Amino acid sequence: MATEFGNQVGYGSIGSYYQAVIGYVVSYPDGQTGRVQWSLYVRVTGSLVDSNNSANASGDLKNQSYGSHNYNLPPGGDDVYYAAGTTDFQRVFDATTTVEQEFWIQDLADAVGGGARSTASLSIELDARDPEVPDAPAEPTVTSIQQDRATVNMVLPPANGAPITDTGFWIYDAASGGNVVSTDGVVNTQTSAVLTGLAASTNYWAEVKAKNSVGWSAASPRKAFTSAALTVPDAPNAPGVVVNAPNDVDVSWNTPNANGSTISGYQVQISTDSMFGTLVVNENVAASPLNVTSLLASTSYWARVRANSDQGYSAWSATTPFDTGVAVPDAPTGLDADPIYATEATIDFVPGADNGAVVTGYQMQIRTTGTLGTMVLGLDALGDNLVYDVESLEVPRDVDGLTPGTRYYVTVRTNSNQGYSLWSSVLQFDTYGGLWIKVAGEWKPATLHIKVAGEWKPAELFLKAASVWEKVL
């Protein structure tokens, strides 16, 4: 029995893999009858990896049986070369950059009942192949789709002999051809990229490629997706509140994500309850902040804000609770001098709101100089004509020791545990001149009479000036 190997032994490379293609012919002597069984074995050494094999005990040899093939040989005749005994087979090895690998091929043929066994071996040296561009990537996926952006993801394809050095991401406005709407423009091997510049509620197609030292791969199939629709803006964050004074606060807020809409302004509300059932401020403004000066001192409030846009209002922000501080009292009002006499007067006034402060007294100042109706910080700046400066809780206030026939100016302010209020407006009054007499505890103007010829008549007053007596009117 003989085994003959043909010369149809080849090798080459496909993609990023080495291939060995080996052909052979088995021949048998003339007149051989019976059944012939043969098997083909391939042994591989080196660093080449064969996923179909497992290493033997030595760790560097890999053996693979390609099965037994049975043929019934016809009797007589010349040597027969059976077509069925001629087989091309391929073994695919995932290779590194190793350029030379050896294959050993061993064949045997046995006749029925036992026969001679012959073997042969062949060594094949694989040449290194030139690298090629990477395979086209699979269709990408598109995630995190928003109105103006989306994330395009890819799986790196086979590199085909040269490492992948760059990946490309594109978004088009058509399923084929069309215009590039967005691209990453970054040289790296990232497998996802956030592409921006999209329009809301629009159909797009994503495409990816891979590049190595040979060049760019073919494009992947395009993945269709639709950008998110326009919506109202996000709610602003809870507003910040700065209390400048007991009735003066600044409310501020951030500019929220517009979600593709155009923000035109903000609505700000302040309420005395957390459910905003009692609004004290409800204003539409263009931008942050809003200054509010109409609040009450020593009061709890809640503030919130929402954005307005061409798509409508956002949700309300979270609420911000705050308390206004304790203020000094308001200035007294309604000053009045009544009654007025020659040397005394009663000054009355209406105390201002205490604004939560504890009132400790009312300071009253009376001067002989001043400006009628003027609100002043104090009359001290009006000169040294102070005739009265007393602080007490007395309301109304009786003031005596005044000069008859004199004009006076009076103002009042409130003192408290939070400090003084502003001064009230200035009140002007005149004491009476001439003769006055107190009758039954009440001052009344006195009239001078003289008795002439037994009859009482009003007296007339004369003044001598330059030796001439003149009647005093």
Say yes or no to pLDDT of 88 above 90. no
Say yes or no to pLDDT of 1 above 50. no
Look at 47-61, 229-243, 446-460 and tell me which has the smallest mean pLDDT.
47-61
Which among 275, 292, 323 is the end of a domain? 323
Q: What is the mean pLDDT of residues 340-360?
A: 90
Sign of the Cα torsion 231, 237, 242, 246 reads positive
Say yes or no to pLDDT of 412 above 90. yes
- Same domain, yes or no: 154 and 211: yes
- Same domain, yes or no: 214 and 247: no
- Same domain, yes or no: 30 and 91: yes
Note whether residue 256 is domain-resident: yes
- Same domain, yes or no: 307 and 338: no
Render 42-74 in DSSP notation, one character per residue. EEEESS-B-TT--B-TTSSEEEEEEEEEEEEEP
- Same domain, yes or no: 376 and 338: yes
Note whether residue 312 is domain-resident: yes
Note whether residue 441 is domain-resident: no
User: Per-residue confidence at 218, pLDDT binned at 50, 70, 90?
Assistant: very high
- Residue of 319 and 354 predicted with greater confidence: 319
Note whether residue 206 is domain-resident: yes
* Cβ pair 17, 93 in contact under 8 A: yes
Residue corresponding to tokens 């040269």 = 162
Note whether residue 404 is domain-resident: yes
- Same domain, yes or no: 148 and 214: yes
- Number of structural domains the chain divides into: 4
* Cβ pair 402, 345 in contact under 8 A: yes
The CA radius of gyration of the chain, in Å to the nearest whole number, is 56
- Same domain, yes or no: 38 and 107: yes
Q: What is the mean pLDDT of residues 368-374?
A: 63
Helices and strands (H, E) in the chain, number of each type: 0, 36
- Same domain, yes or no: 78 and 153: no
Measured CA to CA, the distance from residue 358 to residue 416 in angstroms comes to 5
pLDDT in tens, 20-33: 333 333 444 444 43
Query: Can you tell me whether residue 298 is helix, strand or coil?
Result: coil
Say yes or no to pLDDT of 3 above 70. no
Say yes or no to pLDDT of 10 above 70. no
Which among 72, 96, 111 is the end of a domain? 111
Closest Cα to residue 2, out of 24, 25, 40, 28? 28
- Same domain, yes or no: 182 and 212: yes
Which parts of 293-402 are beta strand (E)?
Answer: 300-309, 312-313, 320-323, 333-340, 344-350, 359-367, 386-392, 397-400
Which among 323, 347, 366 is the end of a domain? 323
* Cβ pair 418, 372 in contact under 8 A: no
Length of the chain, in residues: 473
- Same domain, yes or no: 244 and 312: yes
Note whether residue 116 is domain-resident: no
What pLDDT sits at residue 305? Answer: 98
Note whether residue 305 is domain-resident: yes
Say yes or no to pLDDT of 12 above 70. no
Predicted TM-score of the model (pTM): 0.41
CATH code at position 170 = 2.60.40.10
Sign of the Cα torsion 284, 285, 289, 292 reads negative
- Residue of 408 and 85 predicted with greater confidence: 408
What pLDDT sits at residue 157? Answer: 95
What pLDDT sits at residue 6? Answer: 33
* Cβ pair 167, 246 in contact under 8 A: no
- Same domain, yes or no: 309 and 337: no
* Cβ pair 172, 181 in contact under 8 A: yes
- For 208, the domain range is 141-226
* Cβ pair 290, 282 in contact under 8 A: no
CA distance readout (Å), 28 to 33, 74, 122? 9, 11, 20
- Same domain, yes or no: 296 and 338: no
Note whether residue 201 is domain-resident: yes
Residue 147, amino acid: Q
